[in-house]
Amino acid sequence: MVSPNNLQHNPSPLSTTPAPSTLPSARPMRVSNKKRRRSQARQDRFLARKEDERLKRKFRRFLSGTKKFKKRLKPTHEELRDGVKTIDPNLADYTIPANIDVSEAQVRRGEQVEQREMSSLLELLAHGGSGFMSEEKRAGWIRIMFENFNSIGIGIQDWKIGRLNSLIESLRIDILAGAETNLDWRMLDDSQQLLDLLVPGKAKRGLAVNNVTVLGRLCDVISPTDGMGRDPTGLGRYSWIRVGNGDVSTVIASAYIPNKPSNSKGETVWDQNKYYFEARGDFRDPDIILIEDLLLVIRRWRSAGLEVILALDANQHIYDGILAQSLSEEQYGLSCLFREATGADAPNSHFRGTDPITTIYGSGGLTVGDAMAYPHWYGVGDHRVFVVEVSAASLFGGKYPSIGAPASRTLNCKISRVRRNYNNVLKSLCQRHKMHGKLMRIKALDEDVSAAQYQLMHNKWDNELGDFMASAEDQCSKFKSCHIEFSPTVGQWLKRRSIFKWILRWHDGKVPDTRNLQRAAARNQIEDPLGSSREDIEARLVACIGEIFKLKKSAPELRRKHLLDCLRKAHARGDHETVSEILRIRRKEMGRKRQNNVNNVTKSARGRAIMAIQVDENGELVQYDTHEDIVRVINSRIGNRYRLGLRSPAAVGQISEDIGQFGNGPAVQQILDGTYVYPPGTNPELIALLSEAAHIRREMDQMTTSERDATVEEFIDHWHSAREQTSSSDSGRHFGHYIAASDDRELTTLHVESLNIAGRRGIPLARWKHSLTVLLEKIHGNNLVDKLRAICLLEADFNWWLKLIYARRMMSDVRRNNQIPVEQFATTGRTAIDGVMAKQLGFFDRANTLHVTAALDNVDAEQCYDAVHHGVTSVGLQAHHVPLNYILVYMQAMAEMQFHLRTGFGIRDADGFGGTVGNFLGGLGQGSSGASSVWQIVGALMLGAYKRRGYGMEMRMAWSSFLFVVAVDDCDLLHMCVDPLMSDEEFFARKQRAMYFWAKLLMADGGNLRDIKCSCYLLMYKFVKGEAKLRRMREMPEYEFVIPVFGDEDNQSNKSKLTRLLKL
């Protein structure tokens, strides 16, 4: 055979001779030999070329026929499918139905799975199990497990909880039901409750008595209106959970029917139930009463159109018993799901019994999958464990609520390569568009340039920089998929999967140019990518995905070998930077795995994004579970919270105009100098606060203050140690941008100069007036709106600037000049233990030693950071030498702040609310880095005014000679009767005046006391035979202590709780 290579590179030198002439003979002509030779050569080449072309065409036809022949020999996808389906046409049981579409690769993989699963299943069946349950739970199916625990054994048989958790994990249980926990859960600590012990770290909701617990993401579909309930008698005979709230909804109930004991001492569940009902005039047997109650509630559920699942220990035959016969009636329509799934009756339940008495019933609208009754002693009790699969579509509609996740971050500053790429791209963009020169022109603007014109220029520059930062992030790296650990082997399979999907897109007509596709296929040894049918590519894609799934188990070991190989090569070539980077990757990955294992065992489930809230409306809990309703309710409540500061008496009248909205009024300097004449009728507590500001200003005038502008070194120092995962607002300028920029001095200078320009002008950037509000569950699973913590996420650079100016610069000056009252324990260098020790040693021990009447008022400020009047607070800050322009940046940004709410449904800008010019908000912002420091200044004003009025208690101790009044937002006011001639009534009156004055000081700045959390502790002594003893409550005089609050002018309806402090 002639090779095409030979035809192409070495053409055969075929010798040909001219054909004999057919012309008549003529006389010979004289012909030039040279010309004849040339003509003959041309003829030879022409004939040889014709022969070559003929052979080439012949070879091409042969090669094409060979390919077609081979292709006909190769079975197609349809032929393989038909061959698999017709294994033996004479045996119908082994013939695959025609409507099933399966590939050869899927068949091979299915055989392996079946062999593995059947080996373990046959072992279970050999030990007495019944039914079938696949090891791998199919998508779209919910597994329900029921067992009679025969005591859960907390504190006695702790192995039971461990075994139960192991079963939940290995069997992929979604709903756990059980009976006979044999515990009074009210007597156990919070840490020993069943929900805290079951699968730690996993979301769960349920009831402990006759346990029904929903696990995992199924918690999201529990009905918001009537999601859980239990037996109204309080005997714990049954409990239930409802999942789904749309067209398809199901109630899962768990019950235990007591068995009449043959010989009892009156301590069984039967006896307990009998005593209860006989005391109420019902002398029927408890099992008859429970069956009647169950039928009643099931009939109510079924009439409401709900599906019902009833898992119970019936203590009677589950097919022939009284309950079973009743449940089979048309109005109930419940049958044994085990029989529905397997076609056989359930085996005996108790290990000594002969009848099936335990099962899971279900209504006719449920679709049942596999079911399994495991051998005795497989669970934690002496009954069998029953597991049944029900389709999610028939249980609750099959649709889980989709949680809107925030956008992912491409920039990862822990990787030096990514940081360098980001900085290089951003610097290139800034240099190309001359960002530094533009900023310097804004900085050089004259003071007579209007604020509006300055804002327009600075905001335009800031928006342009934000676009460049986002572009640099997009180009610095790519997303990393962590569903399988990477190694070269895994990478090759992932590439093949990507190429197969690429080919499918070509079949859909979405790839106009196939050259890159063909090159990628050739590099990965995929032959004839465009010649294969769509079915073949789909089959190969399925097989490829199956191989990736198999590799998932060995991927960690392949990853370890890959990193060690890279480390060895880096050591060999002396690349120390690569060595350190590989070691960092290994430490990070190993630490993450170890910490994940620890967290899964030790940490409780985290509260996820809010998908529903509950509101107490006139004593009735109302649930809101749509995006619009949640945003409307939360915005109204948060909006009211940020307007609490406007209740201050400084917000009305002549004093309001003199102070100004942000403490920039014409009379502020006079107030600080102490020369201001207050208008008639000015609130006396407000006068006390402002007068205290004047006292502080006179003391601070003699002291030094630090520089105010931010520096490049401070920026670098902070962001080098910042936590990159910290969330910020929704502008996209997250912490990673500034952490990366701190590696480059040019970019750092750009950020710092922009901050300083805004600070000097006293005008915040427009971006700083937008924040993101996130709702967090204080208690996991508790979505009461009053129990949610609302965190205000400010812009990252703005929040750092607030921290620098207020938390560092201002507080450093105050501490250096000894202006922090010693009574404040919520400050740097002091802890809550210091306050407790001061209170214990200086107050309680002294009262117990001197045996004098004393009182402690625990008063709690309501919404302290948000209930602040900007004008009064600004005067206090100016008294501590904070420049007015810096105060204006903070206060103006908060007054015009636009709040956007992030819930599980995501963020919508149209749903925000906020203040505007003429309709300002108040407050400091929960989540602001400057809020706590500014609140300390407000507390210092209040403490100074409180002590200047003569209230408080002097305590001089061997280890300290200061005066103590323990106070911050949660404050303890200490009172002690040191005058032996003062009567109890006089002491009580003085204590009342002091507490009243403190509350009024708080109200002068817009705050308020939370009366429900305020309390009063009294220590009064009596002498019995010369020995001092604390008086009991009934021996104390009746006296009412009043707490003033806004909206209660008579101050008579809000009274503190009165109790005594036990002597320890």
The DSSP bridge pattern shows strands 175-179 and 141-148 to be parallel
Ordered DSSP codes for 244-279:
--SS--EEEEEEEPPPPPSS--S-SHHHHHHHHHHT
Mapping DSSP to helix (H, G, I), strand (E, B) and coil, where does residue 611 land? coil
> Are the C-beta atoms of 362 and 321 separated by less than 8 Å?
no
The enclosing H or E element of 775 equals strand 770-777
Mapping DSSP to helix (H, G, I), strand (E, B) and coil, where does residue 572 land? helix
- For 297, other C-beta atoms within 10 Å of its C-beta total 18
Instruction: Label each residue of 639-707 as H, E or C.
Output: HHHCCHHHHCHHHCHHHHHHHCCCCCCCCHHHHHHCCCCCCCCCCHHHHHHHHHHHHHHHHHCCCCCCC
Ordered DSSP codes for 843-866:
IIHHHHHHT--EEEEEEEBTTTTT
Place of tokens 């979505």: 783
Report how far residue 504's alpha carbon sits from residue 506's, in angstroms, rounded to the nearest whole number: 5
Report how far residue 289's alpha carbon sits from residue 572's, in angstroms, rounded to the nearest whole number: 82
> Are the C-beta atoms of 544 and 500 separated by less than 8 Å?
yes
User: What pLDDT is recorded for position 301?
Assistant: 92
Report how far residue 351's alpha carbon sits from residue 376's, in angstroms, rounded to the nearest whole number: 6
> Are the C-beta atoms of 428 and 471 separated by less than 8 Å?
no
User: What pLDDT is recorded for position 920?
Assistant: 86
User: What pLDDT is recorded for position 114?
Assistant: 61
> Are the C-beta atoms of 346 and 317 separated by less than 8 Å?
no
Strand partners, 774: 791, 902
Please tell me what DSSP assigns to residue 202. S
The enclosing H or E element of 118 equals helix 104-126
User: What pLDDT is recorded for position 290?
Assistant: 92
The DSSP bridge pattern shows strands 1057-1060 and 368-373 to be unpaired
Strand partners, 1016: 857, 1058
Report how far residue 1038's alpha carbon sits from residue 1042's, in angstroms, rounded to the nearest whole number: 13
Tokens of 444: 């050089």
Ordered DSSP codes for 294-339:
HHHHHHHHHHTT-EEEEEEE-SS-TTTSHHHHHHTSTTT-EEEHHH
> Are the C-beta atoms of 701 and 742 separated by less than 8 Å?
no
Mapping DSSP to helix (H, G, I), strand (E, B) and coil, where does residue 152 land? coil
3-state helix vs strand vs coil in the chain, percent to 5: 45, 15, 40
Tokens of 29: 């002509």
Cβ contacts of 915 within 8 Å, gap of 6 or more: 642, 895, 896, 897, 921
Strand partners, 1019: 854
Strand partners, 350: 383
Mapping DSSP to helix (H, G, I), strand (E, B) and coil, where does residue 1033 land? helix
- Which residues of the chain are modeled with pLDDT < 50? 1-31, 84-98, 957-968, 1049-1064
Backbone angles phi, psi at 679, to 5 degrees: -65, 150
The DSSP bridge pattern shows strands 307-313 and 250-256 to be parallel
Amino acid making up residue 1026 = G
> Are the C-beta atoms of 751 and 439 separated by less than 8 Å?
no
Backbone angles phi, psi at 990, to 5 degrees: -65, -40
Cβ contacts of 932 within 8 Å, gap of 6 or more: 807, 826, 865
User: What pLDDT is recorded for position 469?
Assistant: 93
User: What pLDDT is recorded for position 90?
Assistant: 44
Tokens of 840: 């214990």
User: What pLDDT is recorded for position 539?
Assistant: 87
Amino acid making up residue 944 = G
What are the start-end ranges of the H helices in 726-794? 735-741, 745-761
User: What pLDDT is recorded for position 18?
Assistant: 41
Report how far residue 709's alpha carbon sits from residue 756's, in angstroms, rounded to the nearest whole number: 6
**How many CA atoms within 13 Å lie on the side-chain side of 754?**
30
Report how far residue 989's alpha carbon sits from residue 1040's, in angstroms, rounded to the nearest whole number: 10
Report how far residue 1048's alpha carbon sits from residue 8's, in angstroms, rounded to the nearest whole number: 105
Tokens of 328: 């089979």
**How many CA atoms within 13 Å lie on the side-chain side of 935?**
29
Please tell me what DSSP assigns to residue 1032. P
Radius of gyration for the chain, computed over Cα atoms and rounded to the nearest angstrom: 41
- For 607, other C-beta atoms within 10 Å of its C-beta total 18
User: What pLDDT is recorded for position 431?
Assistant: 93
User: What pLDDT is recorded for position 119?
Assistant: 58
Please tell me what DSSP assigns to residue 957. B
pLDDT digits 0-9 by tens, 797-828 = 999 999 999 988 888 888 887 777 777 776 77
Mapping DSSP to helix (H, G, I), strand (E, B) and coil, where does residue 994 land? helix
Report how far residue 792's alpha carbon sits from residue 794's, in angstroms, rounded to the nearest whole number: 6
Q: Annotate 421-457 with b (16+ C-beta within 10 A) or e (fewer).
A: bbbebbbebbeeeebeebbeebeeeeeeeeeeebbeb
> Are the C-beta atoms of 656 and 690 separated by less than 8 Å?
no
Mapping DSSP to helix (H, G, I), strand (E, B) and coil, where does residue 209 land? coil
Q: Give, in order, the Cα–Cα distances in Å from 542 to each of 108, 117, 349, 538.
A: 12, 21, 42, 6
- pTM of the predicted protein model: 0.69
